[in-house]
Amino acid sequence: MSRTKWILTLVGVVVVLLILWRMFSGPGRPAGSAANGNEAPVPVTVVPATASSVPVYLTGPGTVQPINTVNVQPQVSGELLKLDFVEGGPVKKGQVLAEIDPRSLQAQLDQAKAKRSQDQTQLATAKANLERSENPKYAQYVAQIDRITQENTVAQWQASVAADNASIQNYEVQLGFTRVTSPIEGIAGIRQVNPGNVITPSSTIVTVTQMHPIDVVFTLAGTYLDEVRAAQAKAPLQVAVLDADNNVVEDDGTLKVIDNQIDPSSGQFKLKAEFPNTNNKLFPGQYVPVRLEVRIDSGALVVPAAAVQRGPNGQYVWLVTDKPPANRSATPPTSAGPGKTRRGRGGKHPAGSAGPGGNAPALYVAMQPVTTGGEAGDTGIIVTKGLKAGDQVVTAGQFRLKDGSQVLALKPGEVPPPPTTAQIEAAAKDNGRGRRH
């Protein structure tokens, strides 16, 4: 074998040995240092679970629907002379929206009035002949059949005059239809015709949508049907509309209708709520999250929503406890040394203390499964199983935790104290030992 091949083989063996040494010696920190408790507690924000009277909400997706929507159509045909509304603007009930050429109907009305005058004249003549025939002076000279004929003639012309009156009334109504008015108060949409078009009763001029009040139709899971019906039977339920960030947009809605069936394909049922919508924040066709208040729970156990995590086995919280894990001693040593204290902004803290302010015992966290029962306000969640009042749960800093981690418990808004000199020196010694190894 050549000298070059020997050199390359020797270099390869050295490289393999170095890799194996790095794998078995650890990444620069003495093995067992974590097990000996030298790692610093993880700073976390902790909040106690509290019992209070809170409203219980159910939320579901909803759609805004107007109570009334009218396609305004003419009732007579003719040329459209003008439009008297602003697209997208408000209209009042009875407001004139469009005018149709009335001349043809006006002519027909005049003809009907003339026909009535003609028939009224014929009626007057017939009445005069009948009165003369019934006059005692002439009655003996008039045959009975002639008198009957004259009575029938009067009735015939009376019927003609009545028909003329009905025809005149019909033409007056038709003439009034040349002024198209809005049947409801609302917002006008986009016009569908233009002045100069010849329109018929099948033509849509504009769509008017009622805005005040307005409905919101939303859905909930079928499992809540009995609960909602029972609550609605006691008193009208309050409904609120939320935005994408779960902020309340309208909170003055009232539940009006609970649908009479559950959709078998989705397992959900529909509900309808009515809102005054005085500020026009709800718009027809708008998709909105809806929150229904079903009851108020007194003594419900509430934790911040940030405390509840979701894992492969369901929901859980990080529960703070003073009981160390089974594989760790009850009083783990710290970098400050036995019996020594460390000083932060909160004063003296004993070795292993979980937080500022006194001789507190060492604190740890455990993964605690919980069962939730709904929302409590905008930021709380009701816990029905797994916790009791006063239990401390972690609301921030969970990403660094594992079951049994030692923690430094902080109040909301509080920051951990700066490291002490002893801690800094201990950390430097650890780093030095890691480099030597």
207 Cβ neighbours under 8 A, 6+ residues apart: 69, 70, 71, 72, 188, 189, 192
At residue 435, the pLDDT reads 52
pLDDT digits over 211-247, tens only?
A: 999 999 999 999 999 999 999 999 999 999 999 888 8
pTM summary value: 0.59
With residues binned 3-state (H G I as helix, E B as strand, rest as coil), the percentages for the chain, rounded to 5, are 30, 35, 35
Token pair for 185: 């108060």
> What's the rounded Cα separation, in Å, for the pair 358 and 350?
8
Cβ atoms 55, 295 nearer than 8 A: yes
> What's the rounded Cα separation, in Å, for the pair 109 and 60?
58
Q: Is the dihedral of CA 268, 270, 275, 279 positive or negative?
A: positive
DSSP code for 314: E
What are the CA-CA distances from residue 310 to residues 314, 317, 372, 389, 398 (Å)?
Answer: 6, 9, 11, 21, 12
Per-chain mean pLDDT for the chain = 83
Bridge-based pairing of strands 42-48 and 406-410 is parallel
At residue 339, the pLDDT reads 36
pLDDT digits over 47-105, tens only?
A: 999 988 888 889 999 999 999 999 999 999 999 999 999 999 999 999 999 999 999 99
11 Cβ neighbours under 8 A, 6+ residues apart: none
Residue 140 has pLDDT above 80, yes or no: no
Cβ atoms 434, 394 nearer than 8 A: no
- Percent share of the chain, pLDDT over 90: 56
At residue 224, the pLDDT reads 92
Is omega for the bond preceding 213 within 30 degrees of 0, making it cis?
A: yes
Q: How confident is the model at residue 354 (pLDDT cuts 50, 70, 90)?
A: very low
> What's the rounded Cα separation, in Å, for the pair 22 and 437?
10
Q: Is the dihedral of CA 405, 406, 411, 414 positive or negative?
A: negative
Q: Is the dihedral of CA 110, 111, 115, 116 positive or negative?
A: negative
> What's the rounded Cα separation, in Å, for the pair 300 and 382?
7
Q: How confident is the model at residue 112 (pLDDT cuts 50, 70, 90)?
A: very high
At residue 144, the pLDDT reads 80
Residue 114 has pLDDT above 80, yes or no: yes
Cβ atoms 437, 26 nearer than 8 A: yes
Give me the residue label for tokens 């009622």.
210
363-382 average pLDDT score: 84
What residue type is 53 in one-letter code? S
Q: Which of 344, 342, 350, 363 is nearest to 423 (CA)?
A: 342
Crossing angle of helices 144-176/103-134, nearest 10°? 160
Q: Is the dihedral of CA 246, 250, 254, 256 positive or negative?
A: negative
CA 39 remoteness from chain centre: 47
CA 57 remoteness from chain centre: 12
Dihedral of the alpha carbons of 265, 58, 373, 56, in degrees to the nearest 10: -160
Burial tier of 178 (Cβ tally within 10 Å: 0-12, 13-18, 19+): buried
Alpha helices in 87-197 (DSSP H): 103-134, 136-139, 144-176
CA 107 remoteness from chain centre: 57
User: Where do the domains of the chain lie, and which CATH numbers do they carry?
Assistant: 33-54+301-436 (2.40.420.20), 69-101+178-209 (2.40.50.100), 103-176 (1.10.287)
CA 298 remoteness from chain centre: 26
Cβ atoms 109, 172 nearer than 8 A: yes
